[in-house]
Amino acid sequence: MEKNLKFIKVFLIGVALSIFSFSPFILDLTLTSRFIILSALALLLIILLRRSGRRLDIIIDLPLFFYLSFVAFCCLSLIWSNTRSETLFESSKLILSLFVFAFTYLALKQNSDLFTKGLFKLSIAFVFISSVFAIWQFSRSAGLDKASLYNITGINGHKNLYSSFLFLNLFFLIRAYYSVKGLEKTISAVSIILTLALLILLKTKAVWIGSIITGLTYAILHYSKKINFKLNFYTSLIGCLIFANLFFLFILPKIVEKELGANTQATSLSVNVTQKLDIERLALWEKTYLMIKKYPVLGVGMGNWQIHFPENGLSGIWRAEDLNYTFQRPHNDFLWILSETGLVGFNLYLLFLLSILLLLLKALRLYYNKNKPAFELILCFAFIVGYCSISFFDFPKERIEHMIWISIICGTAYFYIRNNAERIIIEKIDSNSVYTLSFIALLFSGCIGILRYKGEFYTREMYNHKALKQDANAIRSGYKALSFAYSIDPTSVPINWYTANSHANLGNYENAQKDFLLALKFNPFNRNVLNDLGSSYAMGNNDELAKKYYYESARISPRFDDAKLNLTAIFIKEKHFRLADSCLGKLLHESERQQNYKKMVDAFRQSGY
């Protein structure tokens, strides 16, 4: 029994550290540090289980088979992905989520009361600690307008992520409220009220929608015990899967196209910022669908949406064009998965989710027939549905703390449905094989996390050197950041692009071109990489290659004037003044360089050229 308690206590301590930790020494204060801690926790738990002599003979049923298949397929996407460092990181995150899911099942099986009480304490701690941060951030904010509210992030790094994690945290607070008594019940009630107040204050529409859907789902299932519904698992699974595919592949694209057509004025510079932001998500979805059409079966590879997103052009995304803003996700986790893993991975993910939900309904019916309390089953179902609703408009799967909480909720659901799970796929996987594979996978994930931490640390240092115009130091820091697990910064810009520009500043043009080519390898659709690589060829008088990359840069970002100015310079050099004049006519921003080129072209054309 003591060994069982030790496993649960270590699990809970590790979860707490993974949720609350941050590092001020890297670019993203929370993501990588929490990833490393969770990797270390999972590895420690596997070692504890091994030393305890506990056998882990795994029986794989249908939901677990779908989950394992999805994770395995995402890992395999390393074969065809462009930027493999991102595939390694995203796949490792999925591996960790699988272990959290499995550890939750084991913890509930060993001592459900101890584990549930521990989660309750963690959820209380999160509400009050994050509230202190939120109050401090609010005191420094300008008000309650939309822009000011984005400064309120709690301990989650982004307002929307803070809101969605508060929503997931509600699961544990509500669960505790109905199972504890006395002072603990009062504390849970206060925490629930405080959470709801924060959710209202933060004005995150996706979370409001998810919360409403969760409440309605809970109410419907709670009163459905009076209805004698019948559920054929396989028929329902296939039916829901077909509907989901029809919706995401045919219905949603038509809706996006119609809405964008009705709001074309939102891309105009005369429209205010709020309107542009509202339409931006639809434009992101439209670009994502273009990506899906090009890579429908296997997708572009895990973590590579951010790489391929500009491939179809940035027109209509005003922040990307005019503010050089980069996007790392499409603000819809389902489209994110569909674009990166194609129809294969998308349907494996859906099969896992749907099998969990349908088996919860099946178990719920059995509980009603036996007059057993079904509160936890309904709560699991309602919050998984609510989480999916939020995921439709946002990106909670990106973050470690969200991944932990939803994995624990799904693991709790799996604990209740395990006895009702359909069809055993594999009767037993030997315990030694499970331990060996787990140890290798988690050790590798930990290495990925450490290398990314190192990469972000030196990238941050590189930024500082560049700001001080210390190019030699920037080059050294940039090269130290690079590894097989880290090749682009959090804005999808290759590290080699920074080092290439520093080489160019120092007059090392040969080394600059080598690094620009490496940058192109890691992100072949970045307008700045393409433009600067073109300039490196122009410096070497290879005008044809230079024009090739300038044209591609201008195609990707029609509002990006640098590439068109560089093309103008080549056309002037080649005495193609009509082409130069045509390029100047496509410029959207006035500049001293543009005025000088205009004077030169006008002068030459007046002299008879």
pLDDT computed for residue 271 by the predictor: 52
In this prediction, what percent of the chain has a pLDDT beyond 90?
A: 74
* Burial (CB count within 10 angstroms: exposed 0-12, middle 13-18, buried 19+), residue 479: middle
Hey, what amino acid is at 295? Y
pLDDT computed for residue 2 by the predictor: 58
Cβ contact 488:456 at 8 Å? no
- Straight-line distance from the first to the last Cα atom of the chain, in angstroms, rounded to the nearest whole number: 92
How many helices (H) and strands (E) would you count in the chain? 25, 2
Cβ contact 103:11 at 8 Å? yes
Low-confidence ranges of the chain (pLDDT < 70): 1-4, 142-143, 225-229, 263-278, 369-372, 419-427, 608-609
* Burial (CB count within 10 angstroms: exposed 0-12, middle 13-18, buried 19+), residue 578: exposed
Q: What are phi and psi of 367, to 5 degrees?
A: -65, -45
- Determine the distance from the C-alpha atom of residue 393 to the mean position of all C-alpha atoms in its chain, rounded to a whole number: 12
Q: What is the Cα–Cα distance from 438 to 39, expressed in whole angstroms?
A: 11
- Model confidence, pTM: 0.94
pLDDT computed for residue 542 by the predictor: 94
Helices (H), 140-203: 146-149, 159-177, 182-202
Count the neighbouring beta carbons within 10 Å of the beta carbon of residue 5. Answer: 13
Give 457-517 as a 3 state SS string.
HHHHHHHHHHHCCCHHHHHHHHHHHCECCECECCCCCEHHHHHHHHHHHCCCHHHHHHHHH
Q: What are phi and psi of 586, to 5 degrees?
A: -95, -5
Cβ contact 565:587 at 8 Å? yes
Q: Each residue of 296-340: pLDDT tens digit?
A: 999 999 999 999 999 999 988 888 888 888 899 999 999 999 999
pLDDT computed for residue 139 by the predictor: 81
Count the neighbouring beta carbons within 10 Å of the beta carbon of residue 595. Answer: 11
pLDDT computed for residue 325 by the predictor: 85
Cβ contact 565:597 at 8 Å? yes
pLDDT computed for residue 249 by the predictor: 97
pLDDT computed for residue 151 by the predictor: 86
pLDDT computed for residue 371 by the predictor: 63
Name residues whose C-beta falls within 8 Å of residue 188's C-beta, 6 or more positions apart in sequence: 120, 124, 173, 174, 176, 177, 180
Residue 483 bridge partners (DSSP): 486
Which of the 8 DSSP states describes residue 30? S
Name residues whose C-beta falls within 8 Å of residue 474's C-beta, 6 or more positions apart in sequence: 462, 465, 466, 498, 499, 502
pLDDT computed for residue 453 by the predictor: 98
- Smallest Cα–Cα separation from 330: which of 277, 255, 280, 258? 280
Cβ contact 407:101 at 8 Å? yes
Cβ contact 532:516 at 8 Å? yes
**Site of tokens 């930990």:** 446
Count the neighbouring beta carbons within 10 Å of the beta carbon of residue 346. Answer: 25
Cβ contact 45:437 at 8 Å? no
